[in-house]
């Protein structure tokens, strides 16, 4: 496994003086990192790490409830795009996608993802962030957030905590979108305007390490993200592996204090005509995961409840009614641009949801 260190982009210069020479350097660094590696680390001084801690505390307690108490929060009728999705619901796209399988086969055996043969054993909660569109051809895809059934009594600050951390990650994602556009020589708002009123999701996964805590267990099989960019706050348990585009190897992610991990999604790949490729990743139980479990037990935090690995994940989306196509000028003439025909983002997302087995019951009105 590689020890390659991801580029760190410092957003302070851009926030203070976006036209300054120092800001331009960071913008070019951000664009190059996403093109070369499909990922970067961003240091955004506006993001308060204590909000992440409060968020993780609440989600650990949420997932530790009896399963029967969680199931009323599921919304399969909208493809689980809000509310909770139970374990063994989401099927990794690469289990059936031939392009993914060819990519895995082309890696050196030591750099391949761990084998997986079915849906993921993780739970997930999708919480809608941001202003919804006033009108849309995809109303169910832009459904309102689900407040858990147990929230009033057991999680009275649910909406406040979720909105607080979700909006912080949203704002950081829009900032990255702006910096990357500038780095590519495009107007600052090129990507950011396309995300306005998108179906953005705070999307914490929950994996029960008391059940699935053996080394080598795959919690989230090898996959790419279907959205524009994904941001991750610091998790309490290691286990996220990524494959930087230009490295051809597996990298165990370490997010430094004060940073967020940013990964490219398929919508960015579409808009750039393949010049920026969606990043691939997996989440597995490693020896480092086990050491973190033991450390938390010794700290006395898990005496009475199971240990849950909660991801601090946010999906920034292009708005459902926007058209995905390689952007002009520049990306529309990329060598691979012909592979990305024009399609409304909502239609594209529906096709992707079907591919990961979340959309069998999903129909638009």
> Which tens digits make up the pLDDT trace of 280-305?
999 999 999 999 999 988 887 655 56
Q: CA-CA distances (angstroms) from residue 356 to 104, 128, 333, 359?
A: 18, 20, 31, 8
Q: Give the integer Cα–Cα distance in Å for 351 and 328.
A: 25
| pLDDT computed for residue 100 by the predictor | 86
46 contact partners, CB below 8 Å, separation of at least 6: 15, 168, 171, 172
| pLDDT computed for residue 268 by the predictor | 98
Which residues in 130-174 belong to E strands, given as ranges? none
- Tell whether omega for the bond before 329 is within 30 degrees of 0, i.e. cis: yes
| pLDDT computed for residue 172 by the predictor | 98
In this prediction the pTM is 0.94
| pLDDT computed for residue 249 by the predictor | 87
Q: What domains does the chain contain, in order, with CATH numbers? A: 8-355 (2.60.120.330)
Q: CA-CA distances (angstroms) from residue 265 to 42, 79, 111, 364?
A: 16, 19, 21, 24
Low-confidence ranges of the chain (pLDDT < 50): 361-363, 365
Residue 154, token pair as written in the block:
């057991």
| pLDDT computed for residue 360 by the predictor | 56
| pLDDT computed for residue 44 by the predictor | 97
The residues pairing with 42 across neighbouring beta strands, listed in sequence order, are 9, 260
| pLDDT computed for residue 3 by the predictor | 62
| pLDDT computed for residue 146 by the predictor | 96
């Amino acid at each position: 496994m590689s020890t390659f260190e991801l580029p760190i982009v410092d957003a302070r210069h851009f926030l203070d003086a976006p036209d300054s020479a120092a800001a331009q350097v960071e913008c070019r660094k951000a664009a190059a990192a996403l093109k070369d590696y499909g990922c970067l680390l961003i240091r955004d001084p506006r993001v308060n790490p204590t909000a992440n801690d409060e968020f993780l505390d609440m989600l650990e307690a949420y997932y530790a409830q009896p399963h029967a108490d969680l199931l009323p929060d599921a919304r399969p009728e909208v493809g689980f795009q809000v509310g909770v999705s139970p374990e063994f619901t989401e099927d990794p796209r690469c289990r059936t996608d031939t392009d993914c399988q060819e990519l895995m086969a082309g890696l050196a055996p030591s750099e391949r993802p761990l084998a997986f043969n079915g849906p993921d054993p993780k739970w997930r909660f999708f919480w809608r962030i941001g202003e919804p569109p006033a009108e849309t051809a995809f109303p169910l895809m832009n459904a309102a957030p689900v407040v858990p059934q147990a929230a009033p009594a057991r999680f009275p600050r649910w909406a406040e905590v979720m909105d607080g951390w979700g909006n912080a990650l949203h704002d950081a994602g829009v900032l990255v979108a702006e910096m990357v556009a500038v780095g590519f020589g495009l107007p600052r708002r090129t990507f950011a305007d396309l995300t306005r009123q998108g179906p953005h999701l705070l999307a914490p996964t929950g994996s029960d390490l008391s059940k699935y805590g053996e080394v080598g267990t795959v919690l989230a099989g090898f996959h790419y993200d279907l959205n524009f960019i994904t941001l991750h706050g610091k998790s309490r348990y290691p286990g996220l592996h990524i494959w930087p585009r230009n490295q051809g190897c597996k990298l165990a992610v370490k997010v430094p204090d004060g940073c967020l991990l940013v990964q490219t999604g398929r919508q960015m790949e579409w808009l750039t005509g393949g010049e920026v490729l969606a990043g691939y990743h997996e989440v597995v139980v490693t020896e480092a995961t086990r050491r973190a479990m033991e450390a938390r037990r010794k700290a006395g935090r898990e005496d009475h409840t199971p240990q849950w690995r909660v991801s601090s994940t946010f999906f920034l989306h292009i708005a459902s009614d926007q058209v995905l196509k390689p952007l002009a000028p520049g990306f529309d003439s990329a060598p691979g641009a012909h592979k990305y025909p024009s399609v409304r983002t909502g239609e594209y997302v529906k096709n992707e949801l079907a591919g990961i087995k979340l959309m069998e019951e999903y129909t638009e009105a």
